[in-house]
Amino acid sequence: MKERQEIIITGFFSLLILTWLGFLVHQSPRFAGSGWGAILGIAGAALMLIPLVYSIAKRLPFLRGRITHHVSMPSLLSWHVWTGIVGPLLAIVHTGHKYDSWLGILLTTSVMLVVVSGFAVRFLLTYVRHEIADKLALLQTARGDLDQAWGALDNAPLGIRELPRATILSATLASLGIEQSSGGPAAEVIRLADSIADLEYAIRMHEFLKRWFSRSLVLHIALSVLLYAFLAMHVAAGIYFGLRSLQ
């Protein structure tokens, strides 16, 4: 169920990116001020306020108990993710791809950056952490196998301790990952050592990605503060000019 939910959220995230890129081929200057445009804008703004509940419950212990008495933290996180994607999607549609004011451009930019950084934290960081855990388990097993292979090599007769010379064909097949005959205990030691080196390199790369995705959380929080500031200014400007038009 969780995997299916992640696939659906990834689909909505891709749809949001494609909708934002629609400004390259489409622009509707009057849609944002129309009836449907206003409804989508209000709905998008309201949905973008819901993620605040999870952020407040997570960082303010004296409110967490009151909030989680009615809704659990996993449910709040799920609402945080869903409304954090659907709200910006409605907001982008609300714009009609008309980006001709500095406030609208800043608000749209902050919305997209918040969603992208949040997606990196929620899904990419989780994926990298799972990959590191899986590869560490494989590395531990491979090191145990290597110790056994070294023991077998030490106990092998002197005549088969040397590694047989590989032919061009066998070397080519090995580079493609095609399994071949073991070639004796020496070849098994070499194979396991190569596997361990590959795993250690993959773990280092995933640790590097983990550090960068972890920084995305700080960026996500900072951008969210800017987003709500720009959103408040946008709503205030809409109310102000709306009242002026009525007068």
Mean pLDDT, residues 27-40 taken together? 87
| Residue with more model confidence, 49 or 29 | 49
Taking the C-alpha atoms of residue 8 and residue 15, their distance in angstroms, rounded to an integer, is 11
What is the percent of the chain with per-residue pLDDT over 70, rounded to a whole number? 85
Each residue's pLDDT tens digit, 34-75: 888 889 999 999 999 999 988 888 888 878 878 877 888 888
Looking at residue 168, its pLDDT comes to 41
Closest CA relative to residue 76, chosen from 94, 100, 103, 58: 58
Q: Of 207 and 174, which is predicted with more confidence? A: 207
Q: Which residue has the higher pLDDT, 246 or 167?
A: 246
At 91, the pLDDT band (50, 70, 90 cuts) reads: very high
Tokens 């070294």 belong to 150
Q: Which range has highest mean pLDDT (61-65, 157-161, 194-198)? A: 194-198
Contact present, 161 and 185 (Cβ < 8 Å)? yes
CB 85 within 8 Å of CB 12: yes
For the cut 50, the answer to whether the pLDDT of residue 129 exceeds it is yes
The pLDDT value recorded for residue 158 is: 60
- Is residue 180 pLDDT above 70, yes or no? no
Q: Give pLDDT, residue 246.
A: 62
Q: Which has more confidence, 34 or 244?
A: 34
- Whether pLDDT at 212 is above 50: yes
Burial tier of 93 (Cβ tally within 10 Å: 0-12, 13-18, 19+): buried
The full length of the chain comes to 247
pLDDT bucket at 173, cuts 50 / 70 / 90: very low
Quote the pTM value: 0.70
CA distance 121 to 213: 6
Mean pLDDT of 138-152: 83
The larger pLDDT score, comparing residue 114 to residue 218, is at 114
Neighbours of 57 (CB within 10 A): 20
Domain boundaries of the chain, sorted by first residue: 2-120+216-246, 133-205
